[in-house]
Amino acid sequence: MNRSLEETPRTMASTDSTAHSRLSLPALLGFSLPGFTLGALSVSVSVYLPHFYAAHVGLSLAAVGGAFGVVRLFDSVLDPILGVTMDQSRTRFGRYRPWLTASAPVLMLGVYLLFEPPPMAGMGYLFAALAVYYVGISLMTLSHVSWASVIAGQYHERSRVFGAIQMIGVTGATLILILPIVLAKQGAADGGVSAMGWFILTAAPLGVVLATLRTPEPIADHTHEDQLGWRDYVAIVTRPDVLRIFAADICLTLGPGWMSALYLFYFHDSRGFGAGEASRLLLIYIAAGVVGALTISRLAMRIGKHRAQMAASTGYSLGLLALTLTPKGAFWPVALVMFLLGLLAGSFPMLDRAMMGDVADAIRLEQGKRRIGLLFAMITTAQKVAVALSILLSFAVLQWIGYHAKDGVANTPQAIHGLELVYLIGPVVFVMLGGACYIGYKLDSARHAEIRAQLEARDALGPGGSILGGLGGEQMPPAAVVDAF
């Protein structure tokens, strides 16, 4: 019999307790706190830093877009390596907890370098700072979401846990947006970028400490479950369900990322808002994600995660079209549309990650191996590729149409019209493609319940049990898994 299909009683007990336990609300919020730092960084790095390096530091649009894009693409290769390494980790403190702890100092160094550049920093400095920053982001994101998937074993509990992480992340993004609004009134020369950096440098270690101290992690002590051959790797990364989620996540990150990269340019030159008003509108967009994390996660419990994702992507695209119909300079009509957009956008990363956790259960049933870190590395790789392309492509197109980003330079009406088209077409196309990826998706709550039931039945057999509950040891894929895909 294949030993990879067996589990020891100790490992089995950890699996069962984790799958059925439900974190209390205080414990769940404490565990979710690293999402606060990641949420704050998602806004400040994607929206404010590209604009800061182009408008204030003085790098060209092509140079800024190239630095963000190229470093992000190279860094995406790191994530599968980290994912496999995390899955194979064995320490007395757990599998993912040490990696989350180690992520804090690396990320803090990257944040300091990015948000406090020396005078006349060049493209080489930006490359180096981004490289350190993205390694820290990879460590924190992968370890946190992998640990979250272990904690939440059930289909709907996974929506709850990832919804809480999303809500905490949106809270961090919301609070950090208050800084440029306040500092804009005081005439801050850097648009509040330095203050954002110090805010994040304070939040990062606190969030990691509270998460690691309050949350238990089962310690599995057998390594047979984690041996990964090249055939296993190929089988995982080429699975139709994994590729479907990977493609959807690229599109659903690329669309909003494209919008974020051009946000300050678009709302100033096209919509006629000053820096303070643009930041307040962005604050509304981000804060709406708190409502979205609650409402979309509940919607997913009713109609399924993939259907909720398709509904949210369609609504988001329609909302972007509605934004172009609002009067220029009219704050409240635009605020209403931005609230609706932010509410829907909150579902994109939350549901993709939750669905990948469901796929991890299916893979464990088929192979008898945990591949959570590797699967979430696919998600973070997709997001990194998408963010890289969003900045690289959008900034390159802006420069190609003749748009000038440097402060004090007036743009022609043709350049502004080009900015409007670039801002609208990219996000609408990619978000609709992301939603379309889930047409025909079959791993819903009923299929996942069958998978969990078979996992628990196999675990209950203890050593010597097989996937099929001892039917002569013949290793055939469970019917539930075959039907689900």
* Residue 344 shares a structural domain with residue 453: no
* Residue 438 shares a structural domain with residue 455: no
* Residue 457 shares a structural domain with residue 353: no
In this prediction, residue 476 carries a pLDDT of 31
- d(CA 321, CA 118) in angstroms, rounded, equals 41
* Residue 394 shares a structural domain with residue 448: no
* Residue 286 shares a structural domain with residue 430: yes
* Single pTM value for the model: 0.68
Residue 92 main-chain phi, psi, to 5 deg: -70, -10
* Residue 141 shares a structural domain with residue 156: yes
Tokens standing for 323?
């934004």
In a domain, 374, yes or no: yes
In a domain, 17, yes or no: no
> What is the sign of the dihedral through the CA atoms of 234, 235, 238 and 242?
negative
Residue from 258, 286, 387, 266 nearest 345 by CA: 286
- Characterise 464 by phi-psi region: left (phi > 0), alpha (psi -120 to 50), beta (else): left
CA 106 to chain centre: 19
In a domain, 415, yes or no: yes
In a domain, 119, yes or no: yes
* Residue 376 shares a structural domain with residue 458: no
In this prediction, residue 407 carries a pLDDT of 65
* Residue 357 shares a structural domain with residue 374: yes
Contact 364, 18 (CB under 8 A): no
In a domain, 248, yes or no: yes
**Residue 276 burial class via C-beta count within 10 angstroms: exposed 0-12, middle 13-18, buried 19 and up:** middle
* Residue 422 shares a structural domain with residue 452: no
In a domain, 236, yes or no: no
In a domain, 129, yes or no: yes
Domain limits at 406?
Answer: 29-220+241-443
* Residue 330 shares a structural domain with residue 412: yes
* Residue 164 shares a structural domain with residue 309: yes
How many distinct structural domains can be found in the chain?
Answer: 2
Contact 439, 310 (CB under 8 A): yes
Residue from 479, 469, 481 nearest 1 by CA: 469
Tokens standing for 297?
């996660």
- d(CA 316, CA 314) in angstroms, rounded, equals 5
In this prediction, residue 192 carries a pLDDT of 81
CA 315 to chain centre: 20
* Residue 36 shares a structural domain with residue 52: yes
Mean pLDDT of each 10-residue bin along the chain, 485 residues long: 35 42 82 93 86 84 84 81 82 87 96 91 91 93 87 74 85 85 71 88 95 74 52 79 93 90 89 86 86 85 92 95 92 95 88 89 82 80 82 85 77 89 92 95 90 83 45 32 29
In this prediction, residue 227 carries a pLDDT of 56
- b/e per residue 428-453 (b: at least 16 CB within 10 A): bebbbbbbebbeebebbbebbebbbe
In a domain, 6, yes or no: no
In this prediction, residue 238 carries a pLDDT of 85
Say which CATH number the domain at 425 has.
1.20.1250.20
Q: pLDDT tens digits, residue range 90-144?
A: 788 888 899 999 999 999 999 999 999 988 888 899 999 999 999 999 999 989 9
Residue 4 DSSP one-character state: G
Residue from 33, 60, 39 nearest 122 by CA: 60
Contact 320, 424 (CB under 8 A): yes
Contact 312, 348 (CB under 8 A): yes
From residue 308, give the alpha-carbon distance in Å to each of 154, 164, 300, 342, 348: 18, 17, 5, 15, 10
